[in-house]
Structure formats: structure tokens, C-alpha cells
Amino acid sequence: MSIFVNSKTRLLVQGITGQEGQFHTRQCINYGTQVVAGVTPGKGGQMMDSIPIYNTVREARQISAANASMIMVPPPFAADAILEAADAGIELIICITEGIPIIDMLRVKNYLATTTSRLIGPNCPGIITPGECKIGIMPAKIHTPGGPMGVVSRSGTLTYEVVHQLTGVGLGQTTCVGIGGDPINGTGFIDCLKAFNADAETEAVVMVGEIGGQAEEEAAAWVKAHMKKPVIGFIAGLTAPPGRRMGHAGAIVSGGQGAAATKIMAMRDAGIHISENLGTLGMLARQVLDPDSK
């Protein structure tokens, strides 16, 4: 099984005619994702390879029965693209775009609360259920289908490192979700942990956090109260000085909050297996699942 996406997911791409949109759409198609439509205002009626392009998401959804959207739209227009997808009733929206103004995302967050649409991102690598569906910019070849590991991460590049290690020690993945590191995003750690907890084929979860915000502490509290499967955790930014931003707009320690040590303490208290060395996380996951392994 998997969470959020599978082989039946029908994807449309907003911003399909841009250079990045074309490239990553083709990568998704090559992986086997059902890409059924593209949307670029003013270019309706054209084609991108064999993919029909529409002027609006609503039209694309009505004709193609798309239930997911990948947004590859420049930052000034990305928030409106999310709103358009949600207004059209798209169930899953994956926004890859980074650099969206926080004020725009606050508007998006408030509107999404009135809909049934799920947003992953922005500023994220996307989501992949290995062997079934890839929506995003992650390198496909490092992923291995068949489980038993779920992966959720704020950092794109650390997601790739973790997945590479899991594959290297013989642990396939059910689904890998990059939730993004912006202060205002859609799907969070707890959303993914709930879904993995309910997924019959996911036996354990890797959760990769970083400094800044309180998301990891809140997730740790949820794990302690509800999680029935082992969680392996890693926090990036352990040596970051206060006030230093570490790549993501949300990854900043300020006012004594969001420090790596605080997050690690909360995760340990929740029974999460902490990897202090990213380079050995894969082996730790193997040992958690199979204590007799070496």
C-alpha cells in the first residue's frame, strides 16, 4: 500500500510549458505516473508531447478526471495556482515552487481550511510511491518499491540521502513525502505520521526535521500518544548558532525556540530512535526493524 498517491493517481501539471515544467513532467511520465493534462493560461489547445494543455484547472479536471496537481509556477503566481487547483476540487496539490511570499501562503492556508484539498509544499521535492507514482523533482532511481519504510522530511536533499541509505541496506519504501521547509505549508509531520500509522505495509517511519519552528516537538508528542510503529528521527542543524538560517525560510532558531537540542530531547522522550550521525541512519533503521542484524 502507500499514502496519498498510487498507480491510479491522475496528475495535471500547472506550468507545464515552462522549461522546468516540461523537464519534470517528462521525468514523471518516464517513471510511470499518469500525467493526463497540463495547464498554462493562454496556451489551451496546444500539446506538450502527447499531453493536452488547457487554460484553466477546472477545464482540465472536467475533461481529464485529474485528481492531483503538480505546480511548477513562478513564485509571484504560485499561490493563485494553488487556490485555482483547490477551487477546482483537486484532491492533492503538490507545490514545488520556492520563494512564495509568506503573506500569500497565509491567504492560501486560510482558504484550504474551507476545502477538502490537501497541499504538499510549497518549496518541497514532492511525493513518490516507489514503483507506482512520482510527483516532484526527486531522483527516481534511488527509490525502491516494496516497503517497509515510510519517509517524511522537511529537507529535500536530506530526503534523498535517507532514501539512498535505506535502499543501500535493503529497506524499500512505501511512500516518501517531502513536506517542505517554509514557515507556512500544507501537509505536516503529523498528517504523514497518521497516514503511515494507518498504512498496513508501512512498518516503520523515518522523520527528518531541522532547526526552527515547533513542528518536530508537536510531532513527537503525537508519536508518544498515538504511534504504533517505530520512528527513526534525525534533526539537521545541530551546530547552527542562534539566529542562523539554514537554507529554508522556516529553519531558523530564534528566541530560544526551534533549537536542535530541544527537538531531539522531545523526540527521545517520545521513544523515537535518534540518529545523531546522518551517515548511519540507514543502518539504524535496519537495526530497529531487525535487532539481530549487524
194 is in an annotated binding site: no
Q: How many CB atoms lie within 10 A of CB 246?
A: 18
Q: How many CB atoms lie within 10 A of CB 106?
A: 13
Please, is 241 exposed, middle or buried when counting C-beta atoms within 10 Å of its C-beta (0-12, 13-18, 19+)?
A: exposed
Is the distance from CB of 242 to CB of 283 less than 8 angstroms? no
63 is in an annotated binding site: no
Angle at 133 between CA 129 and CA 138, to 5 degrees: 75
294 is in an annotated binding site: no
98 is in an annotated binding site: yes
97 is in an annotated binding site: yes
20 is in an annotated binding site: yes
Q: Could you say which of 143, 164, 226, 248 is catalytic?
A: 248
21 is in an annotated binding site: no
17 is in an annotated binding site: yes
- Sign of the CA dihedral with 62 first, then 65, 66, and 67 last: positive
First to last CA, the chain: 28
- The reply to whether 226 belongs to the active site is no
159 is in an annotated binding site: no
**Residues classed as catalytic:** 248
Residues in binding site? 17-20, 43, 96-98, 160
Residues in binding site for substrate? 160
Residues in binding site for CoA? 17-20, 43, 96-98
